[in-house]
Homo-oligomer: A and B are copies of this chain.
């Protein structure tokens, strides 16, 4: 043992040392300044990394081991506190660089607005991109109390950028009446309450297409993920979310990137949310990065 090689669990378990050689890159987006209820998801990425120490590196679900996925944990993007516009620009530029280098981007939030600049960069590279959006909330507002840059607007922006017919939402159980009307009239796909059953119908239709998958941890019932800003009773279980991740892995779609957002450790005294999140990240790595 050399004195400067002590293990410290600084990064997601089994992250490689060489970023340039990696196939996939994990990065944090520690932003929570536009949330309307309980802030704190800025600390999500680092606590997910920390909790990964308790994970096995092997998945019995997928019969695959993290040593089979060449990934690099790059840490958090240093976003400027309280400035949504500059934060978004930095994220878009960062993802652009990753995509240029051919990396699979796997992001950790932070509030859901971070997905918006990621999608802009993804869509630039993949003009036929589709989005799978797993969430308790529609996130289809045009603005939130006058602010177009809000954690309530990213999916609406995605619809406007890519065309609503390429956006597929699952597990939705909260939103304004106007958002549900927009979903119905715009031609986007929206499945209320459930994830697994509707996914079974949608995945075959997306076969062969590049797809970005964004998961808001609050799609889970607060029983399974209390550590989130806007908890919403009546959600799915961890078992169901695992099944959804595995169905996506086993389908014929081409996953080209993904994220897990809205983990807020301040409301997670038992650490159960970050522990579950770190397992979801492991399964996303093992199932989606080929």
Residues of A within 8 A of B (CB): 1-11, 19-20, 25, 27-28, 32-40, 42-43, 45-46, 49-50, 53-54, 56-58, 60-61, 63, 65, 72-78, 80-84, 86, 90, 93-94, 97-98, 101, 103, 144-147, 149-150, 172-177, 180, 192-193, 221-224, 226-227, 230-235, 237-239, 242, 266-272, 275-276, 279-280
Additional 11 contacts, C-beta under 8 A, given A4-B74, A81-B147: A2-B97, A3-B103, A4-B19, A4-B25, A8-B75, A8-B76, A38-B54, A81-B145, A82-B147, A223-B238, A224-B233
C-alpha spacing A65/B149, complex, angstroms: 25
**Out of B20, B73, B234, which one reaches A279, CB within 8 Å?**
B234
**Out of B36, B57, B235, which one reaches A81, CB within 8 Å?**
B36
Cβ–Cβ contact B223 & A272, under 8 A: yes
Cβ–Cβ contact A272 & B144, under 8 A: no
Asked, given contacts A80-B147, A239-B234, whether A271 binds B276 with beta carbons under 8 Å apart, the answer is no
Asked, given contacts A60-B173, A144-B81, A173-B60, whether A94 binds B3 with beta carbons under 8 Å apart, the answer is yes
**Out of B1, B75, B230, B269, which one reaches A270, CB within 8 Å?**
B269
Q: Which residues of B contact A9 (CB under 8 A)?
A: 46, 75-76
C-alpha spacing A278/B37, complex, angstroms: 14
Which label, helix, strand, loop or mixed, suits the secondary structure of the A interface?
Answer: loop
C-alpha spacing A276/B4, complex, angstroms: 26
A216 to chain B, nearest CB (A): 15
Asked, given contacts A82-B149, A176-B58, whether A238 binds B231 with beta carbons under 8 Å apart, the answer is no
**Which residue of chain B lies nearest to A80 when distances are taken between CB atoms in the complex?**
B145
Cβ–Cβ contact A10 & B75, under 8 A: yes
**Out of B3, B7, B83, which one reaches A78, CB within 8 Å?**
B7
24 chain-A/chain-B pairs, Cβ below 8 angstroms: A3-B97, A3-B101, A4-B19, A4-B20, A4-B74, A6-B28, A6-B75, A7-B76, A8-B76, A10-B11, A34-B82, A37-B54, A38-B54, A39-B40, A56-B176, A60-B192, A222-B224, A222-B275, A223-B223, A223-B238, A223-B272, A231-B275, A231-B276, A267-B271
Cβ–Cβ contact A270 & B46, under 8 A: no
Asked, given contacts A6-B78, A94-B3, whether A233 binds B238 with beta carbons under 8 Å apart, the answer is yes
